[in-house]
Structure 1
Amino acid sequence: MTCPSIRELEAMASGTLPEEIEAHLESCARCRARMEHVQRNEALMAELAGMRRGDLLDAFDAPPEQPIEITGYRLVSELHRGGQGVIHKAVHESSHRDVAIKTLLSGRHATERQRRRFEREVELVARLRHPGIVTLYDSGVDEAGRPWLAMEYIRGERLDRAVERLRGQPDWIRRTVDLMAQVCEAVNHAHQRGIIHRDLKPANILVEGTSKARVLDFGVAKTFGQGARPDATMTSEFVGTLAYAAPEQVSGDPDQIDIRTDVYAIGAMLYELLTATSTIDVTGSVADVVRAITREDAPRASSIAPEIGRELDAILERALRKERESRYQTAGELGEDLRRFLAGEPIEARRDQSTYLIRKLVRRHRTPVALGAIAVVLLVLVVVVMSVLYSKATTAERDARRQRERAVEHLAFYRDLFDAVDPDVARGRDNTLVRELLDEAAVSIQDRFADDPDTEREIRTLIGRTYLRLAELDRAAAQLDRAATLAPDDDVDQALGELRLAQERFDEAERLLRGVVEARTDDPLGQLEAIGTLGVVEWRRGDFDQAAILLRQAAEQREALLGPSHLETIRARVRLAAFVKDHPDENGPADEWDALLDALDHDSLAEHPLRFTILNDVGVWFASLGEYGRAEGLLRESLDGRMRLRETPPLVAESQTNLANTLIRLGAFDEAQHLLEDAIETKVRYYGETHSLVASSITSLALFHYQQGRLDEASAMLRRALLIYVAQHNVERVFDMRTNLAAMLVLQDRNQEALVEVDEALSWGIEHLGDDSHRLAPALNHRARILLELGRLEEAEADARHAIRVLVAYHGDHYRYVGIVHQSLGAILLAQERPADALAALDHAVEIIDDLANGEVERHSVRVTRAEALVALERFDEARPILEEAARVFDEADATRQME
């Protein structure tokens, strides 16, 4: 049977397994391990979900409650009733003082753990004397055997209700922050006395009037430090409230909980009070909630309530970090930063934020291709934040001098970091945070370096280059154009040359880059950077001979200077191999990829993330040639390496998807299905169900169904992917999906429907890409083939010639798909009874496809069409051997598929 998915295993884990599943688990080690993992998670979820329920059942099972009578006190009214205790307002008869009396709900029938916790609360609260913590007056046991404690009666309301009444007033945010600063001071007092609250939430904080916060309910508190006694918490038991729980609270290990757990809860409360939204969605299953607590960051608070501002954003972001060591280390530190905010002073969270973000982003994007962007972002943040946001702290003259000193130091450090890593932005990664930080830095830098144009130029250049690698061309242009006005600089010209290339302003790009080559006569590596970019300019402009010369020069001279296994050499080789793939020279693309793979065998690259990225790319390329066996080996090595390095799950999912595509071609459908299910599950978890990366894996599922002859299912998958791309307004992929849908309909002999679909694709493509875009060629070729089947031959010929024209303008004449469209044109001309014209078109197709075909089947398919033209011209002796050889190749291919 087919292995069940993770979701199916989760569903089965809570009930009795069907017999066939049990039998499958016995024989499948992979599924057995997955089930064990699911069951461990389910056990924790049950513990979390059941804790409070167990306490409530204890209360329901208890005998009827006897009236509460406590000597010396007169009960007035019930204030609150919870799962374990009840609180009454009472009067101390001798002093006539109002008090609050808490009694254990189960009384003498309480469990031993419940009693220990109640007694512990009495002991702990007795230690605390602080204006922000409720005061304990007395304690004891009543005649019914119920433990009780008498404490200060607070005339107020719970925190969230008090803030709700403040909301909308002109100073409500400041007054809310002041209340939370008081909470920090009270909690810090408890921490200094060895007590962790563990259940801080609005219901456990009362506000007198609208200005004084009081912390209460230490019923589940934990002690630490010298003299601490073990509490009543068992391993794997959850204590607290999920909406305010820190990641370590749901880890199942009480030893992970410390004072920073309370810091997180205070941050979660402040976030909720300011945004009226919880940091996590608590409406789903417990498993979903725990997953959110441990993995998902809350949206930036100001994105929900813009009036909150960046400084409170920074404070909240630091308080709510998943890693304890990255938060405020004490409640006192958090309270001090809140006081600084209220006083208009520079806050520590902004000073710390840049260092933290680089660590966080590096963890998320472990490969070096992401580090370039991160280094730039942090360079900007350190320079701008440290040299701008603290301008309030000192006089303008002294601060300006310190700004420049800091700028120079951090500029040098992060420039070194930037130069040391791959500058390409990671493919398929969520760069939202990078974009937000760049946007903030770009705004903050305005007019801040009037006295230091050199520093401003370097910062703007780095911001601009990073925008460029994020494909934010307008934002890149704003930074780089401004940098170019500050002073002549070849680094700026290099970046501007890259920008003009991206903008397809090729003449300007060439002028700038040739100027860089001339300016860097004493910097050979800098010259080669410009020469390599010039090669891409010529490639894009269509001068393929010149492009080959420049790209090969950049690669070979880098190798001579740095060696074959240096990262810069490998990057240049990758670019050359990509060019030769489309425009082969005497070496051919396979030779280039082989040389690249040889270079990757160097010991220094054995576990380098770039190695596994390149193995992935080369594997995909061999798959595109139909060399699926070789592709499988490379893609497996890439996937294994990324998993071994614990790369980010989306990167692993990329490798899983590519390997699955190859396995589908090899007929290994079961393994391919597992890989695709895991990849889609990962991408949905990280990006949501409507992300383009999810759609790419759904497209692979379409291939999965197509290869097994399930054309309806394949079409359904393509339509699902299409809807995602439309929602994302991904122009090129919408066009591709519509084109693929048309091809699928042709295979089902639904030519009229296919024509409607391909017309939609072309309408969309021409509107968004232009009538002369090379991207139109596949749709034009499909339409020509459909019109051929429908007998509309003149229209078909026009489409085929349109496709050839746009392809040759972009790729040149010797390009694989040019050969494929010439084959279509030949078939159309044959149908028009123009065999001589058809033969000319097909001769050209054979010339191209013989060099560039994806395997023997494609090569002989073109030759068969050419043989039809020879037959039409009555050149039977020439046609016969072509058809005989093609029949042999097709038979062998069929036999191979059956064996697989």
Structure 2
Amino acid sequence: MNDADVPSRPSEGDDHDGLPNDAALRAAFGPPTSLAMENRCGEGVLEALRPSTGITSRVLLRDETDAPAPLVGTGEESLTLGGQGRYQVLGEIARGGMGVVLKGRDPDLGRDVAMKVLHPGHADNPALVRRFIEEAQIGGQLQHPGILPVYELGLDAGQRPFFTMRLVKGRTLAAMLDERSAPTHDLGHFLAIFEQVCQTIAYAHARGVIHRDLKPSNIMVGTFGEVQVVDWGLSKVLGQGQERQPGEGLPAATDEPQVATVRTTGGGLPSRSGAILGTPSYMSPEQAQGNTDGVDEQADVFALGAILCEIMTGQPPYHGSRSQILEDAVAGCLDDAFARLDTCGAEGDLIRIARRSLDPSLTVRPRHAGVLAREVSAFLESVGDRARAAEIAVAEARATAVAERKARRRTTVLASALGLAVIMGLTFAVLAERERRARAEQSIASVAALFRKSDWFRDQARRIPPDQLGTWEQALAQVRRTAEIVGAGAIDEETRQNVARLLEDLRREEQGVRDRMRRSRLEPQK
């Protein structure tokens, strides 16, 4: 148990003459019954029913996995409570300037509760008694998962007010932040906690309540992830619904003494009430200047921005000596905080949200926590969208890699087949080239022989006797036919042209032989 200093719901059977809203409670619920009065005189419901019903059994559930925080005292301040109410006092959990928080047990329901009792030194101070009662009434009417439920408002034997509420089991956000190795460690988890806090305060603002003391030590995180804002002792109601005379409101700051509220962790500056209400390290300029009447929802927005600053940078906006912190808070000196935010390595949108929430100008700062909650939710949603897109991209990359590996395997097989085909093709090409070269060489040899043969025939043509011209003509015709065959198989254009010219020469030579043969046949007739 770290901090159980949280308000509660008014009891239906309580009779508090002179307390705010007393007439409204009576009108709504009627006067206390005799059984209720009997039970308040030291007897529980089960004890009262036992004579007529014989009931003796009690249903007890097994303990929660997270053990409650150790007691720090015996609860001697509240021993008079045990004789007046049905609760069993088990010991003291914590104490502050306004009240003492005790661990109690409700024997009728079998549950442990936190009991906040007004500090004995304030029992004769009407202003603090009224604030204590208002804390219980405000907490009792704020019905939200992020706010501790208040069970009952009552008086002990000495007429000191007390209220009971859920016993908090968990750790404060302050303790969790202190355990980090670096501000960037597990940032997403802390931002999710912060979003729940923003939603809780947005609900309170919608009900017209401002907390005025938001800080990590007033935020509880349970074992199962539940996040609750505690210690509403300095809260203020805007447009209050209590039955008050016109002009009556919370007591003026100058009418209240300096007190410290219950702290859930040690260290740091304690909460203050009086001329300045709240914790200076997380306090807006208007709140630090003591302008209690002018403080509204934007003061809580500043405190939320201060918590976000500590989540992102490891420190609240103001740090140093007590006097320096208060001086900086009054003046709104945030240069150091803004510089730390700008260099914290977080995303730009988140830095802009923190800077706007901490802006000293009320025209820049979000109007209430609902606006901030929407901005934080939108940012976290965008982060989630980007994370999902990244996951899809990774999945696509993996699928592409698998496809590429399959393609590479297919390519390897095809390359092997192609390589074999290329080798075979090259082999055939080499063989074909060898054959072509052989044919070329043979063609060249044939052409050369043809030309030699043709030259010899032309040289011998003039010396052939007339009676042998017929045989010579046949030989020339045979040479011409050989030249035609060689020309048809020529391997290049130049050879074909040379052969064609040779054929023309051979044809002329044949014609000359035929002419000589005619002349030789005509000579004897002369």
Per the normalisation by structure 1, the TM-score is 0.30
Aligned to 2:133: 119
State the alpha-carbon separation in 2 of the partners of residues 103 and 249 from structure 1. Answer: 27
173-182 or 64-73, which moves further after superposition?
64-73
Between the aligned partners of 1:271 and 1:341, the Cα distance in structure 2 is 16
Q: Indicate which of 225, 234, 247 corresponds to 2:253.
A: 234
1:240/1:226 CA distance change after superposition, 3 Å: closer
Per the TM alignment, residue 305 of structure 1 is displaced from its structure 2 partner at its CA by 6.2
Question: In 2 relative to 1, CA 282–103 (structure 1 residues): closer, same or farther, beyond 3 Å?
Answer: farther
Deviations 1:578-611 (A, max 9, x none): xxxxxxxxxxxxxxxxxxxxxxxxxxxxxxxxxx
The question of 1:78 aligning with 2:92 is answered: yes
- If you compute each CA radius of gyration, which structure gives the higher value, 1 or 2? 2
3-state DSSP class of the match of 2:251?
A: coil
- Deviations along 1:155-211, one digit per CA (max 9) or x if unpaired, are 111111123345559861111111111111111111111111111122221110273
Q: 1:282 to 1:107 in 2, by over 3 A?
A: same
3-state DSSP class of the match of 1:323? coil
Question: C-alpha separation between the residues in 1 aligned to 2:183 and 2:332?
Answer: 35
Q: Percent identity at matched positions?
A: 31
Q: What is the alpha-carbon root mean square deviation over aligned residues? A: 2.9
Alpha-carbon contact 2:114-2:166 (below 8 Å) kept: yes
Matched AA of 2:296: D
Q: Is 2:212 aligned against 1:198?
A: yes
Counterpart in 1 of 2:311?
A: 273
Report if the CA contact (8 A) 1:159-1:202 is conserved.
yes
Q: Deviations over 1:310-348 (max 9, x none)?
A: 22211110100101221111212111211222222699x
Q: Give runs of aligned pairs for residues 645-684 of structure 1, distance below 5 A.
A: none
Distance in 2 (alpha carbons) for counterparts of 1:260 and 1:175:
25
1:319 partnered with 2:338: no
User: Does the Cα contact within 8 Å between 2:198 and 2:370 map onto a contact in 1?
Assistant: yes
Distance in 1 between the 2:122 and 2:310 partners?
38
Conserved 8 A contact 2:98-2:122:
no
Q: Distance in 2 between the 1:305 and 1:177 partners?
A: 18
Seen in structure 2, the aligned counterparts of structure 1 residues 141 and 208 have a Cα distance that, compared at 3 Å, is same
| Match status 1:330 vs 2:330 | no
Partner Cα separation in structure 1 for residue 184 and residue 296 of structure 2 = 37
Structure 1 residues 98, 304: CA separation in 2 closer, same or farther (over 3 Å shift)? farther
Q: Does 1:307 align with 2:353?
A: no
Is 1:183 the counterpart of 2:197? The answer is yes
Residues in 2 aligned to 1:248 and 1:128: alpha-carbon distance in whole angstroms: 26
Q: Which amino acid aligns with 1:159?
A: L
Q: Is the 8 A contact 1:248 1:261 kept in 2?
A: yes
What is the match of residue 144 of structure 2?
130
The answer to whether the 8 A contact 1:263-1:328 is kept is yes
Query: What code does the residue aligned with 1:289 have?
Result: L
Aligned to 1:660: none
Q: Which residue number in structure 2 is paired with residue 243 of structure 1?
A: 281
Once structures 1 and 2 are overlaid, which stretch shifts more, 154-163 or 165-174? 165-174
The answer to whether the 8 Å contact 1:108/1:146 transfers is no
Kindly tell me: are residues 101 and 292 of structure 1, through their superposed partners in 2, closer, same or farther at Cα, counting changes over 3 Å? closer
Q: Check whether the contact 1:260–1:330 (CA below 8 A) recurs between aligned residues.
A: yes
CA distance in 2, matches of 1:94, 1:66: 20
Give the 3-state SS of the residue equivalent to 2:79 in structure 1: coil
Cα displacement (A) at 1:102: 0.7
Q: Which amino acid aligns with 1:295?
A: G
Q: Does 1:173 align with 2:187?
A: yes
- Which of these residues, 144, 158, 161, is aligned with residue 175 of structure 2? 161
Return the alpha-carbon distance in structure 2 between the equivalents of residues 147 and 127 of structure 1: 18
User: Quick check: 2:177–2:314 contact (8 Å CA) kept in 1?
Assistant: no
Conservation of the 8 A alpha-carbon contact between 2:277 and 2:290: no
Structure 1, unaligned runs of 5 or more:
1-63, 348-388, 393-900
Any residues of structure 2 matched to 1:280-299 within 5 Å, and which?
A: 280-285=318-323, 289-297=326-334, 298-299=336-337
Matched, 1:224 2:241: no
Partner of 2:53: none
| Distance change >3 Å, CA 299–CA 203, structure 1 → 2 | closer
Q: Distance in 2 between matches of 1:130 and 1:264?
A: 22
Q: 2:226 aligns with which of 202, 212, 217?
A: 212
- Matched residue of 2:252: which SS? coil
CA distance in 2 between partners of 1:126 and 1:99 (Å): 15
CA distance change for structure 1 residues 328 and 158 in 2, over 3 Å: closer, same or farther? same
For residues 168 and 319 of structure 2, the distance between their equivalents in structure 1, rounded to whole angstroms, comes to 32
**Deviation of 1:306 (Å):** 3.0
**Residue identity opposite 1:277 in structure 2:** Q
User: Structure 1, residues 730-760: CA drift from partner, whole Å, max 9, x if none?
Assistant: xxxxxxxxxxxxxxxxxxxxxxxxxxxxxxx
Pick closer, same or farther for the CA change 1:85–1:178 going to 2, 3 Å: same
Tell me the SS of whatever aligns to 1:148.
strand
Q: Structure 1 149/246 Cα, relative in aligned 2: closer, same or farther at 3 Å?
A: same
Secondary structure at 1:324 match in 2: coil
Other-structure match for 2:79: 67
- How far is the alpha carbon of 1:76 from its aligned partner? 2.2
CA distance in 2, matches of 1:269, 1:290: 19
Measured in 1, the distance between the counterparts of 2:201 and 2:183 equals: 27
CA deviations on 1:201-239 (whole Å, 9 max, x unpaired) are 222211102732101111111111263661123368211
Q: CA deviation at 1:292?
A: 4.3
TM-score relative to the length of structure 2: 0.50
The alignment status of 1:150 with 2:149, answered yes or no, reads no
| 1:112–1:238 distance in 2 versus 1, CA, 3 Å | same
CA distance in 2 between counterparts of 1:170 and 1:261 reads 27
Instruction: Answer whether contact 1:122 1:139 (CA < 8 A) is retained.
Output: yes
Q: Match for residue 379 of structure 2?
A: 341
Checking the alignment, whether the CA contact within 8 Å between 1:302 and 1:309 is kept in structure 2 is no
Is the CA contact (8 Å cut-off) linking 1:108 and 1:145 kept in structure 2?
no
Q: Which amino acid aligns with 1:232?
A: P
Higher RCO (CA 8 Å, separation ≥ 6 residues) = 2
One-letter identity of the residue aligned with 1:95: L
In structure 2, runs of 5+ residues without a counterpart are 1-75, 255-273, 390-526
Aligned position for 1:98: 112
**Matched residue SS, 2:103:** strand
Question: Does the CA-based 8 Å contact 1:92-1:98 persist in structure 2?
Answer: yes
Q: State the alpha-carbon separation in 1 of the partners of residues 109 and 340 from structure 2.
A: 50
Given that 2:276 and 2:287 are in contact with CA atoms closer than 8 Å, whether structure 1 keeps it comes out as: yes
2:183 and 2:314 in contact (8 A); partners too = no
CA distance in 2, matches of 1:253, 1:220: 14
- CA–CA distance in structure 2, aligned partners of residues 83 and 214 of structure 1: 22
CA offset at residue 304 of structure 1? 7.8
CA distance in 1, matches of 2:144, 2:78: 35
Q: CA 1:147–1:195 in 2, change beyond 3 Å: closer, same or farther? A: same
Aligned ranges for residues 288-687 of structure 1 at < 5 Å?
A: 289-297=326-334, 298-300=336-338, 306-344=344-382
CA distance in 2, matches of 1:107, 1:143: 16
Name the SS of the counterpart of 1:255 in structure 2.
coil
| In 1: Cα distance, 2:122 partner to 2:353 partner | 46
Distance 2:115 2:337 in 1: 40
